[in-house]
Amino acid sequence: MRFTMTRRGALKWTAAGLLACGGVRPPTALAEDWVETHGLSSFGDLALPPDFKHFAYVKPDAPTGGLLSLQITATSGNQNFDTFDTLNIFSKKGDGAAGMSATFDALMSGNGDEPDSLYGLVARAVRYSPDKRSYRFLLRPEARFSDGSKLTAADVAFSLGVLKEKAHPTYSQLLSEVESVEAEAEDVVLARFIAGRSRDAHLVVGGMPIFSAAWWQGRDFDAATLEAPLGSGPYKVKTFEQGRFIEFALDPHYWGKDLPVNVGANNFQRLRFEYYRERQVAFEAFKAGAINFHQEYTSRIWANGYDFAAVKDGRITKEAVHNGAPTGSQGWYFNTRRDAFKDPRVREALGLCFDFEWTNKNVMYSSYKRVVSYFQNSAMESVGPPGADELAILEPLRGKVPDAAFGEPYAPPVSDGSGSDRALLRRANEMLLAAGCTREGGVLRLPSGAVFAIEFLDSSDVFQPHVAPFQQNLKKLGIDAHSRIVDAAQFKSRTENFDFDVVASAFGGASTPGAELRVFLSSASAAMVGSRNLPGVADPAVDALVEKIVHATTRAELNAACRALDRVLRAGHYWVPMWYNDDAWLAYWDAFSRPERQPKLGTGAPDTWWWDEEKAKKIGL
């Protein structure tokens, strides 16, 4: 299970950052001390001037054409990796189709070279009040929906209202600080925020999709639908077969194709997302050409699976591309809502039973590094004893957070690589007994007397080679550890209702964490059906640290607060951290070309690529 809440590229959404009080040139001073700017950023000047022509990592004259066919690799809202039954990906109901975000525009769009900036898309400029509680987004008069109807401030106000009141928690929680939204004029929308609003509340608004109020009149936003909602984005739904594929066509009349944020993007005439419930089946489809772009996540296949004819004769290219995006946090998460996992000593003990060193060598061809932090490979990762800036944040919480948070941050111990490190298993056993567990006839019992049983829930068997040795070590301690593989619909229902013991999940990293952490870690989200707080973290101290992050006004403050939170979460043992890779493993039929360089905060693949007709002809496509 992978979830992302990252920067909006050609096919993605964003919500992060704080308004910069300056740009490459000073914003325009207005009456009432309001300030006008062409973009928003978190902690400093915008990298691009008001008259920038395009992002630096695109080819501005890239040709348009061809087909990009691929699988969904990250989800948001109600989306599901394995199937879909609705084209409304923002509702709480149903399984949303891949690629639908490409049919909607937002007020602003992100730059892949900057960690926390947005520039005008539907909005040509933004004006903000001195107290930063009111923002006027000035809309482009040429903005249109795909049916030719005009996109107005009333549509923006409707969209933000329905997302706040009726959307999936992924979106509605992020909009909780919006006090009101109104259309002051046809091309001016005023958003007001509550007092004490978070640093990035206005950028959440800037990154949200815009719907047609007229189209939704008389329709139920909550209901699953296979009617494509009217959007204003570069693509329109062309055809689909429920649960099997969905294809989009580039809108030849797309109103925003020449905007600086869109130049060099949206280069494919057709986008097609194929659904396969088994990775091996998907890989066979790629080998046969049904998919022409594939990101590999299975080390065994990456090491040994690319010896077929199309690779050998050069029709398929295989390469590892460095990914400048922040490393996500992937692990097996304990459901602390259940009594068996409430004691952090128990959770730590269970984590000792996973032998990463053996797994990496014997299952993953030594291709990975161990995840240890919630902010891996960044200045937000805690390292060594806490510094003075971290202690200033942690000291008021002393006695409310684990004492371990004031020392070296917890990191999983390195095993002897045997697959069953006796010293670590002995240590785990001692911790379980100290936590009140008992053993009778080789069966471990919880302090309540119940047999200690753990079900690892998943919708795919892809992790079975990794989890089976983990479970064998747990069984050596007398724990009944087993896997339960269910279909996609049941998996989604069970995880959204927190009906699981342990589940594997990966959350995309963020360069500038903010309000989205409330979705993942707050006490409020722990009890909210459908939230992304899978482990059920419900700790006032964690809430306080999240708010420190949300309201940080400088990068230094943000980094210190994130490191403090990282220490507390790691000391809380909410997960068994898995692994990560600095590179993206890409394989594709050699029918694409790409810009000279990739974005600093990503690979650019395939968002900035284009179809190369000459290459395609050479390989028979």
The pLDDT of residue 557 is: 97
Give the pLDDT confidence of 137-174 residue by residue, as tens digits. Answer: 999 999 999 999 999 999 999 999 999 999 999 899 99
Domains of the chain, earliest start first: 2-216 (3.40.190.10), 330-580 (3.10.105.10)
Lookup result for tokens 């829930």 = 457
Reduced 3-state DSSP string for 367-418: CCEECCCCCCCCCCCCCCCCCHHHHHHHHHHECCECHHHHCCCCCCCCCCCC
Q: pLDDT grade, residue 77 (50/70/90)?
A: confident
Positions of E strands within 171-315: 178-185, 188-193, 235-241, 245-250, 268-274, 293-296
Q: Mean pLDDT for the chain?
A: 93
> For residue range 257-303, what is the model confidence (pLDDT) as tens digits?
999 999 999 999 999 999 998 888 999 999 999 999 999 998 999 99
Report the SS3 class of residue 281: helix
At residue 291, the pLDDT reads: 96
First to last CA, the chain: 33
State yes or no: pLDDT of 347 exceeds 80: yes
**Could you read off the pLDDT of 530-575 as tens digits, one per residue?**
889 999 999 999 999 999 999 999 999 999 999 999 999 999 999 9
Amino acid identity of residue 443, one-letter, is V
Q: DSSP for 161-210?
A: HHHHHHB-HHHHGGGTTEEEEEEEETTEEEEEE-TT--TTHHHHHHHSB-
pLDDT confidence bin for 12, thresholds 50/70/90: very low
**Under 8 Å CB-to-CB from 621, ≥6 apart: which residues?**
289, 292, 589, 591
CB 40 within 8 A of CB 126: yes
- Tokens in use for 69? 């066919």
The whole-number pLDDT of residue 30 equals 57
* Structure tokens given for 28: 């325009």
Burial class (CB in 10 A: 0-12, 13-18, 19+), 570: buried
Residue-wise pLDDT for 389-443, tens only, equals 999 999 999 999 999 999 999 999 999 999 999 999 999 999 999 999 999 999 9
User: For 229-255, how does the pLDDT look when each residue is reduced to its tens digit (9 = 90+)?
Assistant: 999 999 999 999 999 999 999 999 999
| pLDDT mean over 359-373 | 96
Choose between 321 and 170: higher pLDDT.
Answer: 321
pLDDT per residue as tens digits for the range 569-620: 999 999 999 999 989 999 999 999 999 999 999 999 999 999 999 999 999 9
Assess contact for 81 and 74: CB atoms under 8 A: no
Task: Give the residue-averaged pLDDT of 322-334.
Answer: 91
Q: Is residue 393 left, alpha or beta, with left meaning phi > 0 and alpha meaning psi from -120 to 50?
A: alpha
- What integer pLDDT is reported at residue 400 of this predicted model? 97
Q: How confident is the model at residue 327 (pLDDT cuts 50, 70, 90)?
A: confident
Three-state DSSP state, 480: strand
Distance (Å, whole) CA 17 – CA 563: 18
23 pLDDT above the threshold of 70: no
**pLDDT tens by residue, 467-520:** 999 999 999 999 999 999 999 889 999 999 999 999 999 887 889 999 999 999
Give pTM, 2 decimals.
0.88
Instruction: Report pLDDT for 10.
Output: 31
- Whether the per-residue pLDDT at 364 is higher than 70: the answer is yes
Answer yes or no: is pLDDT of 6 > 70: no
For strands 245-250 and 188-193, give the pairing.
unpaired
Query: Structure tokens of 298?
Result: 């299975």
pLDDT tens, residue by residue, 253-264? 999 999 999 999
Work out the angle at residue 9's Cα, subtended by the Cα atoms of residues 6 and 10, and round it to the nearest 5 degrees: 145
The closest alpha carbon to 279, from 28, 461, 450, 502, belongs to: 461
CB atoms within 10 A of CB 43: 18
pLDDT > 70 in the chain, percent: 95
